[in-house]
Amino acid sequence: MSAAIDEGLPRLAEVDPEQPLQVLVRELSLERQVAGLELVLRIREDDAVLRGNADKRLLSDRLDRAEGRDFLAALAAIGRAAPGTRLDVHFARFGLRHASAGVLALLGPEQQPLLFARDIPPAGWNVANGGSGSRHELLAIEELLAREAHEELLFHDPKRGLLRALEGAELEAETRLALKLWKQRLGAAIGRPLAYRPRVGPDRVRVIDGDREQVTEGIKLCFDVEGFGIESIRLIEIADQAALIPLDGEILDGRLLDRQVGLFHDFGALRRGRPERAFQGGRQLITRRAAALPLCPVTAALLGGVETPPR
């Protein structure tokens, strides 16, 4: 008899709820709404927990990707169905990680997509996203996607010599550290926060954890079979008129990760994977040094349901 796919992984009831963690979802429900989909997840004490890349690698080798692809086919069918159509999923040899969330930023008056060059598998142009940092964020998807936006999206206004973060980012310890490190590197002062506006997406997710329940609306749900993840992504518009240079606010071992940041002319250019402009280290790169990368699975899934903004 084959071992359970989650054998050797700890259970939710056994781990520190304040540590970064994701759970393996083996059951979920989807219902077709007028505008999009509603995903319903129930968190259980005996859910298997993934605490980092080692747990992900262990689980990845055991999953039946064919069952995952069957799920995507069923998902596509319910997307074409009448409102009220429901899909209840019970995986046998597959599962999906929860929670992961983030944003796709659209910068400036022309609303150009801004993405980060990810150089670890799955490599490619990626949105500003990440996994839940605690059990609370399994439930509070809104807080998770806001935290990821605040931590990763920083900007330099070279004309005024200012560093700028998004509104609300001052609450995040990692953002404060990133601003300090970029201030040391660029010799810039910290300016006023950047206003941004969320764009309403078609989907919603309802998470139930014991007697607590929370609904996050206006997102785009993305399902990645290869990376076995559920992503809740929101588009945000940063319409500031200043000539801003994007910076990477991600921190690794107390240092700036400083990934390449790409600005794409529009969603058509993004699908081709070649940015119109690319930035790194607080400077614009010459065009031939811009990373020619595929789209990460999350970005590719997101583009399946995003309309190009009017120009």
Give the dihedral of Cα atoms 231, 235, 241, 247; nearest 10 deg.
Answer: 0
Query: Does some domain include residue 3?
Result: no
Could you give phi then psi for residue 151, rounded to 5 degrees?
Answer: -75, -35
Contact 154, 182 (CB under 8 A): yes
Check pLDDT > 60 for residue 310. Answer: no
Query: Does some domain include residue 145?
Result: yes
- Residue 108 in tokens: 């400036």
Give 65-88 pLDDT, tens digit per residue.
Answer: 999 999 999 999 999 999 999 999
Query: Does some domain include residue 309?
Result: no
Check pLDDT > 80 for residue 309. Answer: no
Query: Does some domain include residue 225?
Result: yes
Check pLDDT > 50 for residue 253. Answer: yes
Query: Does some domain include residue 187?
Result: yes
- State residue 1's pLDDT score: 36
- State residue 224's pLDDT score: 93
Give 222-250 pLDDT, tens digit per residue.
Answer: 999 999 999 999 999 998 877 899 999 99
Number of folded domains that form the chain: 1
Residues comprising the chain, all counted: 311
DSSP per-residue string spanning 154-180 = EEEETTTTEEEEBTTGGG-HHHHHHHH
With CA atoms as reference, report the closest residue to 239 among 109, 141, 146, 89. 109
Q: How many other CB atoms are found less than 10 A from the CB of residue 1?
A: 3
Average pLDDT in the chain: 93
With CA atoms as reference, report the closest residue to 96 among 250, 251, 301, 252. 301
- State residue 2's pLDDT score: 54
Check pLDDT > 60 for residue 311. Answer: no
- State residue 273's pLDDT score: 84
- Residue whose tokens read 């300090």: 180
Range of the domain at 78: 12-303
- State residue 305's pLDDT score: 59
- State residue 306's pLDDT score: 56
Contact 152, 248 (CB under 8 A): yes
Query: Does some domain include residue 311?
Result: no
Query: Does some domain include residue 7?
Result: no
